[in-house]
Amino acid sequence: MLSTLVPVQEETPVVAAASIAAFAAALADRTRASMCLALLDGRAWTAGELARHARVARSTASEHLSALVRAGLLSEERQGRHRYVRLASPDVAQLVEDLAAASAGTQHPTPQTSLRTVRAARDLAAARTCYDHLAGALGVAIFDALLATDLISDRNGLALTPAGWTWFHDIGCGTALATPTRRPLLRTCLDWTERRAHLAGALGAALHQQLLHRGWTRTLTGTRAVTLTDHGRTALPSILRIALDAGG
């Protein structure tokens, strides 16, 4: 009986290594990586939209998207003649963001060649969506403020304090607090531009939606950049100590 078990134990690392290699290979292409970064806005995109974004032919984009779906990085749905794809899960989104953060310190930045690209990079660094939660300088500033005001504690792992439960409930995140899911309630995500943590998880997503709903933030059309509104610049300091040089 023992002889039949030993080969299984020896093969397991080989199988895991092959899976990791296959998964990594799906992202080891500039076009595919560009598509996954675009999908960090949390929306479902068509193949045509991603083809234009990546500046490749639609047929080429479709081939890349099929490879990403097979690898489990993307999920797809069809409505009539249209094929929509999105990142497969929040975990995949965090993986893409983590890879961006890890690679940011190892590569020389590409020089910006136009005012438009400089402005777009600045907007993304100031505030943006990372799948379904806030990232960039604004996201990091909000997370820092939540820690500084003891609404979230990181002393023994990330946890809401009693004051934090009340604060998040009062701001409109009660559903996230009351509805258990497989997704962690609180999670940090390493920000690839700030190189520090912002808030992810179910509560990070709920907070982002509440800021949009209240009109304190808005998304910039055609991008995943986010900006504070005038209302947000007034309201956020009233409920949270936050430096508002972030987020535009």
Q: What pLDDT sits at residue 118?
A: 67
Encode pLDDT of 177-204 as tens digits. Answer: 988 788 899 999 888 888 889 999 999 9
Helical pair 58-70 and 2-27, crossing angle rounded to 10 deg: 150
Phi, psi of 33 (to 5 degrees): -65, -40
For residue range 120-178, list pLDDT tens digits in order. Answer: 778 888 999 888 999 999 999 999 999 999 999 998 889 999 999 999 999 999 999 98
Which stretches within the chain are classed as H helix? Answer: 2-27, 30-38, 47-54, 58-70, 90-104, 115-126, 136-148, 162-168, 174-178, 201-213, 230-239
Output the pLDDT for position 169.
Answer: 95
pLDDT of 245: 62
Instruction: Give the integer Cα–Cα distance in Å for 176 and 217.
Output: 20
> In the block, which residue shows the tokens 């986010």?
226
Q: What is the pLDDT of residue 214?
A: 95
The share of the chain scoring above pLDDT 90, in percent, equals 46
Looking at residue 113, what is its pLDDT? Answer: 56
> Residue 79: its pLDDT value, please?
81
User: Would the pTM of this model clear 0.75, i.e. be above it?
Assistant: no
Q: How many helices (H) and strands (E) does the chain have?
A: 11, 11
Mind listing the pLDDT tens digit for each residue in 77-134? Answer: 888 878 899 998 888 888 888 887 777 655 545 555 555 666 777 888 899 988 899 9
- At 100 the pLDDT is 79
pLDDT at 14 (0 to 100) = 60
Place of tokens 């068509």: 46
User: Is 11's pLDDT higher than 50?
Assistant: no
pLDDT at 32 over 90: yes
Query: Would you state the pLDDT for residue 122?
Result: 85
The tally of CA atoms less than 13 A away on the side-chain side of residue 107 is 11
Q: Is the pLDDT of residue 9 over 70?
A: no
Q: How confident is the model at residue 226 (pLDDT cuts 50, 70, 90)?
A: very high
- pLDDT band of 61, cuts 50, 70, 90: very high
